[in-house]
Structure 1
Amino acid sequence: MSVTYTVTVIHDRDPQPTPQTELREALGQIQPSATVSRPPESDPIYYLQVDPADADKIHSLADNFLAGSPACRAVVSSGLALPERSQDETSIIVQRKPGVTDPVSQSVLHAMGESGFDREQSQVRTGWRYRVAVDELSSENLVEVAGQLGNEIVDEWFTFGEGEPEMVPDPFRSFPSESTGRVEVSLLDANDEQLQSLSDTGGLSLDLVEMQTIQNHYRGLDRNPSEIELETIAQTWSEHCCHKTLTGRIRHGDHVYGNMLKETIFGVTRELDKPWCWSVFKDNAGVIGIDDEWGVSFKVETHNHPSALEPYGGAGTGIGGVIRDTLGTGLGARPILNTDVFCFAPLDTPNEDLPAGTLHPRRILRGVVSGVRDYGNRMGIPTANGAIHFHPDFVGNPLVFCGSVGLIRKEHVDKTVNPGDQIVAIGGRTGRDGIHG
């Protein structure tokens, strides 16, 4: 049994408050004629579920950690209630969808554990309330403004007109679990049309030849694949994981590469065979020697399309992935710095020039920079260098190129992996946004 509280942080004690630029920009795009009578406000919201025995600690947590500044005040309410707003204000509440990873909540849970809360009995979800006093803003336009502030992939939002009470669904609600146990996919007797349909409806992004190859493999095993096996193959064979374009057949002028990556970068590296190349093309990151004792590991990867869909999470997991690969190189390299290259469409790109369904470059830039910052600088790994470039060709898909540099001793570079080795997975639970992402 747990009790629920809502903590809303109000920024009304700051003599020079930070302007709410996102809401202003969204209003300007959706309804340029709208007249705002005073600066818009945004209030962080924290939904807390705690053991009843910890209820007496809520106000201290709210004042000392969640507000954390003399310029703010924390309003604690029982249940899912929010503090009243001015009668002339409309409001928008944006919060994560149920089951989606909520990065801020993990920091709050850590603080609660340090403050004596029963961590096992505590849950946290977060959101934002945007308030604005604006003349003649239609309910339809208000919903459009909300869509500019949230991202339908990971967020849900609710809009409230002047004087309308704010009521939101339970942020802790969950969905029924899927069927448990092994789920088989009927693949053995499927014809070509059915094979392609399995890929298309399942979001596997595999072509017919690839599906036929999988089918022939399981015919040799005389059994159908499980759903997890098929998903694993699809992920492993994805463009992101195996670089189909770089390893494909490419014509450049009069020359045809059978496998461009192997015939260029791989080929010349193998041919030169420099002694200071301690580990190349076989581990999670490459390693070059800087003296007889120490080597530098370097890993880069792109997270372009994920960042186009959800800039903060896409870029954060991009930099997080290369930090992970540094840690997984050899017997473990030590991350010392991050690097990045970002390419976006011009920030003044007119809305009418955006392809349908794409986010504006300004929004993508803000999210990407924040994601790399929060997964790097704020965990103690500095972003030591980088570059940024603008060109109209990046309007549909940005380039988000993330890199991690580490240090490793020479004797720790080589490792062996053997059948029967134990695997220990460490980390947070995967959210709904991380499944088939």
Structure 2
Amino acid sequence: MKLATCSSWLLGACCLSTGIPAAAEVQNVTATGVHRMEKHDSQQDSARLALVAAKSLVLTQAVERLETTEPVKQLGLNRDELLAYSIGVLQIFQYPVETAQVDGGMTVSAPVKIIFDPAEVGGQLDTLMENQRAKTELMRIKDTIDERQKELGIDGKRLAAATDNGEVKMILQHRRDILSVIDTEEQFAHTWAHLLGARHAGIDPGQAQNQSARTPDNAEEHRKKGVSLTQQGRYDEALAEFQVALRLMPNLEKTHLGIGAALQGKGDFDGAIAEYRMVLKQHPDDAGAHNNLGSALQLKGDMKGALSEYRTAIELQPNNAVTHFNLGTALATNGDVKEAIEEYRTAIKLNPDLLQPYFDLAILLRDNGNTREAIQAFREYLRRAPEIPANKPYIEQAQRYLNQIRERQLDRSGRGQ
């Protein structure tokens, strides 16, 4: 289905490797946070825990490297200051989470990378140091993250000892709340860096926060950039852009839809659901927000809630092909095959250029014995699908099915001669 400072006792074993500096000044550091899943751990929570570990590792290693470079040494920062300011300055690139069986248990690995030019980072840090409020806020963010990481370790020990289901649920929710706090603090750190970038270009960040009514264009540009970054899978960078947009224009409510989409991309379905519901509280007739909420609920496994949201979205906006497609995926997952087929057909009728419904329709038709129409749907998918890596598994599956049908027809023809 396709819908549009770390310690080993804290988050499991942590693997790290450092890249060799390139011929120019650009350097890179990679790290992998590994969390061993225990009996109460979900895949989603384990991925978030592994990512927290990975980010802490890669940031610490990058700071150790930066300390040895002349542009940063000249600033005279101590280790704690450099760590705090770097949270906002350094961009951490995430790669797909991986799971594996190790010693009879399941482990989740989250690889990340930082690429930086010491001269450029030195200039950014120098700009940060000119703003006392930013320095104070970034030190607070670092201290908050450190404290929350310690709480994660405590929760891990409490979970291992807990036997009462009520207590387990309470600890799990507390742990998710902590992870959300860490994400939010990281976003605030990036927001400060962006605001100070604006100050460097002649805009004072203190004034920028009070210019909401006078800077809608700037806020909208940051929101649009966040949407673009989300589409590229660069979710942390997108969240930083959305936070800047809200600082500049707090009533730019559609920014919360973007935040929800970025959080959903990161696997934080609870966070995404909260953002979509925030929009719907103010705008209950927003069909797009209902559709997005439905997709987050579906990914979380709440099929009843997803179906309700999709249907509400369609009542509000009957001709939206994407919502009809999403409703089809939910119905198919729920075992309502006939209704799902009709929704896929409706999506195709409303928007013939929407690619995925052709494939999903073909699968349902094939699995329910409608070979003739399945062949037509697969052929239409192949005719329209561009040969890009994302489409490769679908293209291969469609071609494999059509080849099997062709071979059967030739075999029957041969026997009839």
Q: TM-score interval w.r.t. the shorter chain?
A: 0.3 to 0.5
Q: When you count strand as a share of all residues, which structure comes out higher?
A: 1
TM-score, with structure 1 as normaliser: 0.32
Q: When you count helix as a share of all residues, which structure comes out higher?
A: 2
